[in-house]
Amino acid sequence: MKPSVLVFSGRSNPKLTGSICEALGQDIGRLEVIKFSDGELSIEINENVRGRDCFIVQSTNSPGNDHLMELLISIDAFKRASASRITAVLPYFGYARQDRKLKARVPITSKLIADLLTTAGADRILTMDLHSGQIVGFFNIPVDNLNALPVMLPYIREKYGSKGITIVSPDAGGVERARNFAQRLDDAPLAVIDKRRSGPNQVAEMNVVGEVKGRTCVIVDDMIDTGGTLVKAGETLLKEGAKKVIACCVHAVFSGNSEEGLTASGFEEIVVTDTIQIPRSFNCAKVTRLSVASLFAEAIRRIHSEDSISSLFK
């Protein structure tokens, strides 16, 4: 007999966890986060998890270090409470952009995070749209890297159709993601923006490779951070004659003054998902948020029943 499944929520995105549990037809597992006066955290699991298949949902968005530490402590608590299997569900995997050594004396932080999660006691990782596929190889445990295509593609198709659309990758590294989107949108044409960076979150120059004049351009990316690069990409496409520009980005990091920049931008619409809980204070009328709860719920159901995850995307 397979152990029954329990889904718990960290403090980063309890709303998403609630929607996942609703789709699964069950309540959120009872877990209490205790914060001491010196800032240290402790976890108390108020459920019997012995021999159970446990999933803990926690994005490591801002404050990323706090949310990461909370997740690590939670995993340790589940391990010491004799859970049968512990799956860390990270809808948004923080530090993913630090995935290689581009200059001397810098860390590969995403590899460090992978080691920490494994050492803490995670048996499996469930995440979505990692910044680069190589991060899966940083783990010595199974990793299921979902993508938001089954949620975003139907929305774009229904609202904008598939005729006269060009899918745009904002850089060379995102071509595979954009190509996958384009192929499933009736083999839409693909364009790439060649950008030259002058520093972190700073782009000095952009050039478009591909035909965008008179077309509806959909920029496909894994995340929006400050939004500066995305806004500049949109402006570049409009200067090249694009009819309208839409952004399709999975993770809404929205740091710095992204609200002002996106509001003033030339984007028709900015489509994101709920992998990160957007603060109530964030107010940009151009942002549309789609839920990935049903996708995560189905993935959890399949992991628990040992069914195929990859078939979700065929």
8 A C-beta contact, residue 7 and residue 85: no
Chain Cα centroid distance, residue 208: 26
What is the C-alpha separation between 58 and 189, in angstroms, rounded?
36
Look at the alpha carbons of 74, 76, 78, 80 in this order and tell me if their dihedral is positive or negative: negative
What is the C-alpha separation between 286 and 289, in angstroms, rounded?
10
CB-based burial, 54-89: b 16+ in 10 Å, e otherwise:
bbbbbbbbeebeebbbbbbbbbbbbbebebbbbbbb
φ, ψ for residue 58 (rounded to 5)? Answer: -160, 110
SS (H, E, C) 50-83: ECCEEEEECCCCCCHHHHHHHHHHHHHHHHHCCE
DSSP string, 124-184: EEEEE--SSGGGGGG-SS-EEEE-SHHHHHHHHHHHH-STTEEEEESSGGGHHHHHHHHHH
Whether residue 63 is preceded by a cis peptide bond, meaning omega within 30 degrees of 0, is yes
What size, in residues, is the chain?
314
Catalytic positions, please? 195
Assign 41 to helix, strand or coil: strand
Assign 193 to helix, strand or coil: strand
What is the C-alpha separation between 117 and 11, in angstroms, rounded?
17
